[in-house]
Amino acid sequence: MSAGFEFKTGTVWLVGAGPGDPGLLTLRGAEVLAAADLVLYDGLVNPLLLKMTDAVCERTARIRRDEAAVVPQDQINSRLIEAARSGLNVVRLKGGDPCVFGRGSEESEALRDAGISFEIVPGVTAATAAAEYAGFSFTHREVSSAVALVAGQQAADRLPTSLNAEALAEFPGTLVFYMGLNRIKSLSDQLVDHGLDPNTPAAVISEATLPGQRVLVSVLGRIAEDAVEQEMRPPSLIIVGECVSLKHEPSWFEQLPLFGLTIAVMRPEEQCVETALRISRLGGRPVILPMIEVRSVDGPQLQFAREIISDLSHFSWVVWTSVNGVHGFFEILSDLGLDSRALGHAKLACIGPATASALRDYGLNADLVPGEFRGENLARELTEKVSAGDKVVWFRADRGREVIPEMLAAAGIPLQGVVVYRNTDKETPVSEDLEVLVREQVNWVCLTSPSIAKRFGQVMMTDSEGAGHFTAQVACISPVTAAAARECGLRVDATADVYTVDGLLDAIHKAENAKSA
């Protein structure tokens, strides 16, 4: 949001969410999502985009998919108007672009007639993204200087009466049919009947820009039969024209390191989004399935933490071993009306780069980050740097490994442990967790802490019958997490060499490459 600018209440934004890849949302789209009170989203919108808003989100699909209810267009229009009149800022989030076969013109007309303030936020339409992610271009100086976007879905099994099949057959460029897969035989036959060469290159692109993207390249006379044989599924586009012959195999998108893999992210929900977006950027499909929740401390734990944090002057070193520990510390510090000056001249130690990065967000640089991101290494380096008589305070979770206090105690170094956050098992029935993993056909499960590994192990042990249908591989962020997973009876298929999320995803990539070596 621009400095000094405030959104007018009761505004509706018709926002293009792009074709599926969450990275294709525009900056303006992200801005208004963050400002929304209510989001009405279409069924084709990537659910990751809903993590970018704190608004109430309601699904408003116009076609039946995954047994979800169908919401007629007139009801959507009424909901937009009603919500805006009640003073809510509303985002109507639509796949692709709002005004390219997205009924954005109908919705804007209804809003205008009702006197509702609105703005249209363009999005990347499916056609252009599909071609570029599939490896070819609609236009090329030598084969095509024009593109026709055509709605392939209509009431009867024919081209819309407003279109001229003969003119489309004679069109000097690329034809792109939206929503036409269930009528592909009729569409291709009519084009051939009106003179278009049956050997004209043609393609079907399904799930464009997503890890499940599939591209069928054929010719117009066979494209319908090939689409059935290859079991192509919507959402899809049909491309007809010489531009298809320019397709590169494989496309840049299909060469991304995690392309085609579905990866379960089991971190606490507030930490899942960044990891999920990273997976998407590498071509994978993230499934967010938190195993634990991070909660603030209360009662005696909170009182003790407040007492320690209110007077840190007698500590020479302050230690954090997680991002959550950093956030928990500063939450309590702020509640006390204090800021980073309370740390005085203490030196600061973090277990790894992610924790140090969280500390930098509060304007502080760590004095110590071990070369290997493990509690043993942090404790070892602390024993080398802490001077005689120095006291150390560690802001931590309510559960976890005790290697740091044990090693410091053995070295005669006083350590005060202070709980500033709690890890609790997410209260989801294990059968539902397993159902998600099986239904989403997860290829890999990411375990990023011993507590997450233990909770996942409990899920697998509790429903052994359901676990029998689960075939995903397990990747762990560190040897410590891998050991916790094995203790729970899990098979570990990959362990990161560098104990970060990027290191974890790299381990998955290496394991996949090893399969084909």
Higher pLDDT, 465 or 408: 408
pLDDT at 436: 78
CA trace torsion 104, 175, 188, 162 (10° rounding): 50
pLDDT at 2: 42
Instruction: Please check the confidence at residue 331 and state whether its pLDDT lies above 70.
Output: yes
Query: Do 12-124 and 128-254 come out as alike in CATH topology?
Result: no
Average pLDDT over residues 449-463: 84
Average pLDDT over residues 175-193: 93
pLDDT at 158: 46
Whether residue 72 is preceded by a cis peptide bond, meaning omega within 30 degrees of 0, is no
Question: Which residue is it, tokens 């130690």?
Answer: 349
Bridge partners (DSSP) listed for residue 176: 149, 239
Average pLDDT over residues 218-238: 95
Helix, strand and coil in the chain, % to nearest 5: 40, 20, 40
182-196, 324-338, 412-426, 467-481: the lowest-pLDDT one: 467-481
pLDDT at 284: 95
Confidence of residue 424 (pLDDT cuts 50, 70, 90): confident
Residue type for position 288: I
Above pLDDT 70, what percent of the chain?
92
Instruction: Please check the confidence at residue 64 and state whether its pLDDT lies above 70.
Output: no
pLDDT at 67: 55
| Long-range CB contacts (within 8 A, 24+) of 298-302 | 301/398, 301/419, 301/422, 302/332
pLDDT tens-digit series, residues 118-130: 999 999 999 999 9
Q: For residue 13, what are its two tokens? A: 């934004």
Count other C-beta atoms under 10 Å from residue 492's C-beta: 18
Instruction: Please check the confidence at residue 480 and state whether its pLDDT lies above 70.
Output: yes
**341 by DSSP, 3-state: which?**
helix
Bridge partners (DSSP) listed for residue 91: 13, 39
**176 within 8 A of 96, measured Cβ to Cβ:** no
- DSSP E strands: which ranges in 283-435? 285-288, 292-296, 317-320, 347-350, 392-397, 415-425
In sequence order, what are the residues at sequence separation of 6 or more whose Cβ sits closer than 8 angstroms to the Cβ of residue 104?
14, 94, 97, 98, 120
Describe the strand order of the beta sheet including 347-350 as a list of residue ranges.
292-296, 415-425, 392-397, 317-320, 347-350
Pick the CATH number of 12-124 from 3.40.50.300, 3.40.980.10, 3.90.700.10, 3.40.1010.10: 3.40.1010.10
Instruction: Please check the confidence at residue 141 and state whether its pLDDT lies above 70.
Output: yes
pLDDT tens-digit series, residues 286-299: 999 898 888 999 99
**Boundaries of every domain in the chain:** 12-124, 128-254, 256-291+427-516, 294-425
**367 by DSSP, 3-state: which?**
coil
CA dist 109 → 7, 81, 100 (Å): 21, 11, 15
Q: Which fold has domain 128-254?
A: 3.30.950
CA dist 193 → 1, 18, 221, 368, 462 (Å): 54, 34, 10, 74, 61
Q: For residue 184, what are its two tokens? A: 């592909």
From CA 424, how far away is CA 384, in angstroms rounded? Answer: 34
Bridge partners (DSSP) listed for residue 121: 15
Closest CA to 43 of 15, 66, 73: 66
From CA 136, how far away is CA 165, in angstroms rounded? Answer: 25
Parallel/antiparallel/unpaired status of strands 38-41 and 90-94: parallel
What is the CATH class of 256-291+427-516? alpha beta
Q: May I ask the CATH architecture of the domain 294-425?
A: 3-Layer(aba) Sandwich (3.40)
Q: For residue 179, what are its two tokens? A: 């929503």
Mean pLDDT of the chain: 89
Q: Is 122 left (phi over 0), alpha (psi -120 to 50) or beta?
A: beta
DSSP H/E element including 444: strand 444-447
| Burial environment of residue 201 by CB neighbours within 10 A (0 to 12, 13 to 18, 19 or more) | buried
Average pLDDT over residues 167-188: 93
| Cα 7–chain centre separation | 27
Residue type for position 464: S
Average pLDDT over residues 18-33: 95
pLDDT at 1: 39
In sequence order, what are the residues at sequence separation of 6 or more whose Cβ sits closer than 8 angstroms to the Cβ of residue 62?
42, 43, 70, 71, 72, 73, 76, 103
Confidence of residue 270 (pLDDT cuts 50, 70, 90): confident
